[in-house]
Amino acid sequence: MLCLSVAPAQVIRAPQALEQAGNAIARLGSRPLIVGGDRSLAAVQPRLKSVLEGQKLKFTQISLGKDCSEASLAALKQAVAAHKADLIIGVGGGKALDAAKLVAYQCGLPVVTIPTSAATCAAWTALSNVYSEDGAFLYDVSLPHCPNLLILDYDLVQTAPRYTLVAGIGDAIAKWYEASVSSGHSEQTLIIAAVQQARVLRDILFQKSAAALQEPGSAAWREVVDATVLLAGVIGGLGGAQCRTVAAHAVHNGLTHLPIHSSIHGEKVSYGILVQLRLEEMVQGNQLAATARQQLLKFYTEIGLPQTLADLGMADITISQLQQAAEIALNPKSDIHRLPFKVVTEQLMAAMVSTTAPANSSNLNPINTNLVSEEVAQ
């Protein structure tokens, strides 16, 4: 049996969506536990408090801490029991929303997601990523359903720093480059639909991202926010586990294990797209991948997405750290193995240090370890 979790049961989106969501929240529970990071809770608390008090709900809040980790989840479950919560409200970015969704599932409670930025589609999806206390990706958990209610408040999202939307664009645009590889040849109706939606998403972002970033709050800005928060989630819902990530997210996962990583999710994923395309060039001699990478490099320059390890704050990465990240990205359960060819550690390392190489420089197979050393040293 194949169970699809395509969409939240209800989505409320508007400039003042929070103020319009009181009745919808109250229908789900009377004792909500609000989960979020310190900054997100502070940003939303005055408005959310007014909404909940207006519905006479007995609520309390708890700060997540730095990551959606097993320790954080254990603390959240204790808070659920202490408050006798019957509803979870997640407020914040991807990690806070992932934690809210997962603890709600573990406790058998409904969940409301309120994104405070457009950095990911976590507010939509039936999936949570779990990290270590140090921020290293450990595993993901597929959930039985999407959130019961998603509140996309444009006024709230507009208060987030510009770089969060840039990162969200990077995370969302990866849907096309990964789904077209993992599922582009599928004959299943919904997977075909998901892949084609990923192409539409890419085109929307190519066309509207620059204007959106120049005019926060504009019509173009809202369209891009909808694309990164909502449409990106639709693709995962339609395609399910068969239309998931490939090398871009695998590279992200590997980089999170390095002590020098400081960039956010979408920034590492967008860099990972370039690595994936570089692998397709180097290993397959794929000229379409070479053209796509050059197109992306131009787009990244235009909106400010990272193109190299140095752009991610990893200019001082060592050969051993690069190898560690590559080996983790290539672990046996990694989605990188959805690529239609085998990748070895040296090939991935070479791709990771040549993301901005000219389109005709695909002659890196077999890999020269000295070349990798020279690239890292530059």
How confident is the model over 302-315, as pLDDT tens digits? 999 999 999 999 99
Q: Are residues 142 and 185 in the same domain?
A: no
Is the omega angle on the peptide bond into residue 15 within 30 degrees of 0, that is, cis?
no
Q: Are residues 290 and 369 in the same domain?
A: yes
Domain containing residue 99 = 11-160
Q: How many angstroms separate the CA atoms of 303 and 271, rounded?
A: 14
Given a cut of 60, is residue 371 above it in pLDDT? Answer: no
- Is 263 among the domain residues? yes
Mean pLDDT over each residue of the chain, to the nearest integer: 93
Q: Domain holding 93: CATH number?
A: 3.40.50.1970
- Is 1 among the domain residues? no
- Is 148 among the domain residues? yes
Please indicate whether residue 369 or residue 361 has the higher confidence score (pLDDT): 361
Q: Which residues make Cβ contacts (< 8 Å) with residue 370, sequence separation at least 6?
A: none
Residue after which a domain boundary falls, among 115, 137, 160: 160
Q: Are residues 27 and 77 in the same domain?
A: yes
Q: Over pLDDT 70: what percentage of the chain?
A: 94
Predicted confidence at residue 365, as pLDDT, reads 47
- The answer for 312, left when phi > 0, alpha when psi is -120 to 50, beta otherwise, is alpha
Residue 152, SS3?
strand
Read off the pLDDT of residues 25-34 as tens digits, 9 standing for 90 and up: 999 999 999 9
Given a cut of 60, is residue 368 above it in pLDDT? Answer: no
Read off the pLDDT of residues 243-299 as tens digits, 9 standing for 90 and up: 778 999 999 999 999 988 789 999 999 999 999 999 999 999 999 999 999 999 999
Please indicate whether residue 285 or residue 364 has the higher confidence score (pLDDT): 285
Point out the least confidently predicted range of 83-87, 210-214, 235-239. Answer: 235-239
Residue type, 276: Q
Token pair, residue 292, equals 């796509």
Token pair, residue 151, equals 């509140």
Predicted confidence at residue 374, as pLDDT, reads 52
Q: How many angstroms separate the CA atoms of 18 and 2, rounded?
A: 34
Q: Are residues 62 and 96 in the same domain?
A: yes
- Output the pTM of the full model: 0.94
- Residue 111 Cα distances to 37, 123, 329, angstroms: 17, 10, 32
- Is 269 among the domain residues? yes
Domain count, the chain: 2
Residue 13: which of 156, 147, 144, 136 has the closest Cα? 156
Q: How many angstroms separate the CA atoms of 132 and 69, rounded?
A: 5
- Residue 224 Cα distances to 156, 163, 179, 207, angstroms: 15, 14, 20, 10
Q: Domain holding 189: CATH number?
A: 1.20.1090.10
Q: Are residues 179 and 153 in the same domain?
A: no
Q: How many CA atoms lie within 13 A of 166 on its CB side?
A: 19
Q: Are residues 208 and 305 in the same domain?
A: yes
Given a cut of 70, is residue 350 above it in pLDDT? Answer: yes
**Any idea which residue has 């530059």 for tokens?**
378
DSSP string, 120-148: -STTT-SEEEEE-TTS-EEEEEE-SS--S
Dihedral (CA of 30, 31, 36, 42) sign: positive
Predicted confidence at residue 301, as pLDDT, reads 98
Q: Are residues 156 and 246 in the same domain?
A: no
Provide the b/e sequence for 105-140 (b: ≥16 CB within 10 Å).
bbbebbbbbbbbbbbbbbbbbbbbbbbeeebbbeeb
Residues 5-28, mean pLDDT to the nearest whole number? 97
Residue after which a domain boundary falls, among 96, 128, 160: 160
- Is 3 among the domain residues? no
Q: Are residues 122 and 190 in the same domain?
A: no
Q: Are residues 329 and 276 in the same domain?
A: yes
Token pair, residue 168, equals 């969200």
- Residue 211 Cα distances to 222, 300, 306, angstroms: 11, 14, 19
Q: Are residues 207 and 314 in the same domain?
A: yes
Token pair, residue 189, equals 């109706």
Taking every pair of C-alpha atoms in the chain, what is the biggest distance, in angstroms? 67
Q: Tell how many helices (H) and how many strands (E) occur in the chain.
A: 16, 8
Q: Are residues 156 and 305 in the same domain?
A: no
Q: Are residues 117 and 244 in the same domain?
A: no
* Residue 312 DSSP one-character state: G
- Is 4 among the domain residues? no
Q: How many angstroms separate the CA atoms of 91 and 99, rounded?
A: 10
- Is 261 among the domain residues? yes
- Is 287 among the domain residues? yes
Predicted confidence at residue 367, as pLDDT, reads 46
Residue after which a domain boundary falls, among 124, 140, 160: 160
Q: How confident is the model at residue 369 (pLDDT cuts 50, 70, 90)?
A: very low
Given a cut of 80, is residue 60 above it in pLDDT? Answer: yes
> What spatial distance separates the first Cα and last Cα of the chain, rounded to whole Å?
52
